[in-house]
Chains A and B, each alone.
Chain A
Amino acid sequence: MGMNKKKVPRLIWKFPISFRDIEKAGEVANKIKKRFQNLGMKPEIVRRVSIICFEGEMNLVLFAEKGGLIRVEVFPDRIDIFFEDEGPGIKDINLALTPGYSTAPEWAVEMGFGAGMGLYNIKKNSDFFEIFSEVDKKTMVHSRIFLTKCKDGSPRRSNLNES
């Protein structure tokens, strides 16, 4: 009481992601999934975190020319996931968020990547979502999942987007 303590994360995990290391793609998402299961998180939260991390990891593998980083921060009331990279950046963020729009290379599309659902799926599974990008420089995607509900029992979602 009295002291207005700044909230600090209970856990911080960082995972570097290698550009075009397609063989390993998905391994970090599974590692994060297992860690959340071990923390005893609800299956619904684990499911959302898994989807967010898989899509974010794929984006970094496909586009993070100088490598990327996934940072996961776990607070008592929320999970923050950041995907950061120095790479081509995103010219038109609204377009990139449109389901079905993809700039993935042909070889990746043939492997079943690049469906144009990545950022859309991240946003859809987040309670809060933001993205910053500078063309030819960097991109940062921030996804937040709340672990607590509002006083009236409704989910704490700050971007109630199209389903």
Chain B
Amino acid sequence: MNLKELVENLGIKLLNPGVNLERDISDAYVCDLLSNVIANAPEGSIWITVQRHSNIIAVAVLKSLAGIILTQGIVPGKETLDKAIEEKIPIFSTPDNSFRIAGKIYQMLLNK
């Protein structure tokens, strides 16, 4: 399953168009504590969070994450978006809360 399928099936909105969406997603991780993500998020997973500040991009790069989904309609500021573009980290927004979007992705991963 790749990011493109995720966008097509879940209606999540890509905030930095132009990034590569062909990358496969092997897993997902839900957490708002950066240390926890750094220590535990599996490489290649998509990260679901409500944190919107620019450090989330640094975390995603460090952990080679497939992308970031901001939940509850949260939209990042310019600083975060600029960094996401610079580092080529796909960043999405969804009106769903973290539980709901995680459940949907879990279901999709199960069916693959």
Which chain A residues have a beta carbon within 8 Å of chain B's beta carbons?
22-23, 25-27, 29-30, 33, 47, 50-51, 54-55, 58, 111-113, 115-118, 121, 124
Inter-chain contact A51/B55, CB cutoff 8 Å: no
Question: Contact size class for B?
Answer: 20 to 34
Task: Give the complex CA separation of A24 and B77 in angstroms.
Answer: 15
| Main DSSP-derived SS at the A contact region | helix
Quick one: which of A58, A113, A117 contacts B39, CB cutoff 8 A? A117
Determine how close the nearest CB of chain A comes to the CB of B53; give it in whole angstroms: 6
* Interface of B: prevailing SS: helix
Q: How far is the CB of A162 from chain B (nearest CB, A)?
A: 15
User: Which residues 1-56 of B sit at the A interface, judged by CB distance below 8 A?
Assistant: 32-36, 38-39, 43, 49, 51, 53-55
Partner of A54, one of B38, B43, B54, B79: B38
A117, B36: Cβ atoms under 8 Å?
A: yes
Residues in B neighbouring A111, C-beta threshold 8 A: 34, 51, 53, 55
CB distance from A119 to the nearest CB of B (A): 10
Q: B96: shortest Cβ distance to chain A, in Å? A: 20
